[in-house]
Amino acid sequence: MFINPELIDELKRNKVILFVGAGVSANLGLPSWSELISHMAQELDFDPKTFQSYGDFLELAEYYEIMKGSIGPLRSWMDVSFHDPAIDIKNSRIHEIIARFNFHIIYTTNYDRWLERAFEAHGVEYVKVTNIFDLTKLRSGITQIIKFHGDFDDDSSIVLTESSYFNRLGFEGPLDMKLRSDILGKSILFIGYSLKDIDMRYLLFKLNKLWEGYSNDSVRPKSYIFTISHNPIQSEVLLKRGVETIVADKDDPQNALEDFLSTISKESH
């Protein structure tokens, strides 16, 4: 596994924003999207396979909200299912490394609270940012955890239905404006994302647009995505948008991510 020395140098200078995706939480054994769809189907008296054939997750969640009058019951079920009391976050080496790494800014598209709980379990202070009001709580030297797709503590913040996702595509909310400010002079390191992840790819497209018109590419920080499988076509497209792909040398997602985080932690501290 080749890790660009530029990334290590940027980590040493605290010039990297961490972006955490669903793959990080998946290592804890949380329910899959398929299981969420099956739960919605049962709640709405559909056969799960038939229900899934009627649309993608966003459309099905939108239909659920229409029929139930609120996304609240689904959010409540997800909250309980995602936070099984049997999970001991201290046993997750991945979460421990993230908590102890001293990233100044962490964005996550995950709804669950496991990042926050990891920081608490390891005695590391943080500030959670879900909405515009949380921006007043920011303090110098304290890690910011920005819940980019919402948080279970605030139904209105959750990006789960098609309508909420389309609103997110506008890229004009308070957290979007904060991200634009945060990335100036910093790189982004994506972990827990697939190269096929449309959320990640759209985000990179929008961020790339911010840099268009600048002829001097040297002023633009390079960003990185860690992935298990190599896809030369997707990697080339991402490279055009300023993102370098780091491919794991292990097939097991959990071991590969743990090894990567351990390596960059040792080399940058």
- Residue-level pLDDT, tens digit, the chain, 269 residues: 789 999 999 999 999 999 999 999 988 999 888 899 999 999 999 999 999 999 999 999 999 999 999 988 999 999 999 999 999 999 999 999 999 999 999 999 999 999 999 999 999 999 999 988 999 999 999 999 999 999 988 878 889 999 988 887 777 888 888 988 898 889 999 999 987 787 778 888 877 777 765 555 666 788 999 998 888 898 898 888 888 999 998 889 999 999 999 999 999 98
Under a CB-based contact definition with an 8 Å cutoff, are residues 228 and 21 in contact? no
Tokens of 6: 């530029």
Contacts of residue 196, defined as CB under 8 A and 6 or more positions apart, other chains included, come to: 234
Helix (H, G, I), strand (E, B) or coil at 50: helix
End-to-end CA distance of the chain: 19
Q: How many other CB atoms are there within 10 angstroms of residue 237's CB atom?
A: 15
Residues of the chain within CATH 3.40.50.1220 domain(s) are 5-28+90-268
In angstroms, the CA 25 to CA 147 distance is: 14
In angstroms, the CA 77 to CA 86 distance is: 17
Under a CB-based contact definition with an 8 Å cutoff, are residues 89 and 115 in contact? no
Strand partners, 16: 187
Phi, psi of 58 (to 5 degrees): -65, -40
CATH number for the segment(s) 5-28+90-268: 3.40.50.1220
